[in-house]
Structure 1
């Protein structure tokens, strides 16, 4: 087991960073990875149905992404970018504000051409994030939908033509500031085919935070502190998954966020619980998975905690080998990239 950050690095040509979502969604490429046979195949995402078996349980993170990026201006006219991170109460949010050093406590930011939102700076946190209180008319969700932009990761430089392309087709509730991107490949039609095959689909929730993009800064990965995220495993999901595990059927997680949700909700006796809470679980090689048997995931950033998680699911050596192969084969990487099924 390697705890050195440099062991999770790889070379990625810039042109392989996915800039646009596949059209249709399920026509992205799919690399299938058989862990035991060390066998790799190259398919399209719609072929995933051929790798699923009747009785499998597919667990997806059905959290919703909010258009968390807004442009505000000070009363002096200076323009600032406001990025919503976490709701503190109904009208108060923790935010990240670019170039906000001169913004003083009590100072106001105007958002929207018609001043639809007036934000007041209440607090500057130790990490530099700001706490803002918002005044507006009507429902905040509707105002935000009108003024906000989807919070695309910094490595995506092309403008998104439709907001819903950074949203899964099954998103239901929540306030994520980043998409659970492994789910972006599914279409309604593909999900129907999967259900018709006898696969059960259940929903869990994890509100993806901006920390998902934060790089690991320590060379010894064990010194890295994970950010906290809010999650929920509903009772219905717990029942279906617990029954499947007892009967020896596979539990397949859609994305690393579903993995972190499920593994966070296991009690000391090894049983999955229906639970709401916060998690800062850090999964790296040596971790023993209690719930998840297979994983659908995108290709992750070099030196990232997500690359460590999938290395724990297989081995670091084999995962780095598959990534090298993906680069050679011209797969697209990251949020709007292609996908991998590890089983």
Structure 2
């Protein structure tokens, strides 16, 4: 039995109660009686763990608001989701861009169509999405309707499979050549297949920008090029002599057991000369702060909400949502403290570090 005192504690954002066994991996398609979260594949497991409750740190941590549970929906699964009781069925947002678009349509009442194959098209989803997970930053606009709130620090490396000389340490210039299919998309004379995440992925957007390429310069197989499109962070799809961008956080979580294991026989490569993305092995694996601090390959990630709901002077202000994203709260989704009973400790188990010092929330315009 949980005492009345423990129940009372649930009235704040977050609760840690020892003695309750909860599965560490996130569950897909939860039932939410408050806020719903969609978007980034990179952030889905750690956010879902906080939403559903996890004991991955040795102490149960769960982000709640006034005893109400929140629902975080995976980027992949069935082609559609229903986020609120009696709400419409709409296409599952797959990736950061798709999640931010769904939040935008939830705010303005416009019709939403996701990038998920087979999903319903042109569905009105007013009020159905409260938070979007985003592994990439947005373009600052001080009059924007959205607010990007810092979540955690991540980094991008790559997973590979093969024995081509140098495939374990491809530099930025070589990676650009690979993804632009020139010259002959080879490493040391061996043809290597470049794999890119699905369209709308924040990791895809960031990776292309970091290697100095663009969607136009990169040519996918369907466009007559060499780049294969696949679901991000699924290294089981690697074939002989192939590479794919990989969020280091996801790789760490797959090794520690915090996340579902999609490594297959892939190996993690470094894009920072002389610096490995991770330290340790297996369940003791952790992010390498030196790699995460790299100004090119490190990145801050965000939770995106409607700005008006975070503004106490606005009639749309939502005190519960504000608390859920208030990093000073131990169980808030944005908390960075590393005590075992805090959300920040859960994030570290999932391969994330605190956001860069000085990074603050900022406004961005809605997605068209």
Normalising by the smaller structure, the TM-score range is under 0.3
TM-score (norm 1): 0.27
Q: Going by fraction, where is strand more abundant, 1 or 2?
A: 1
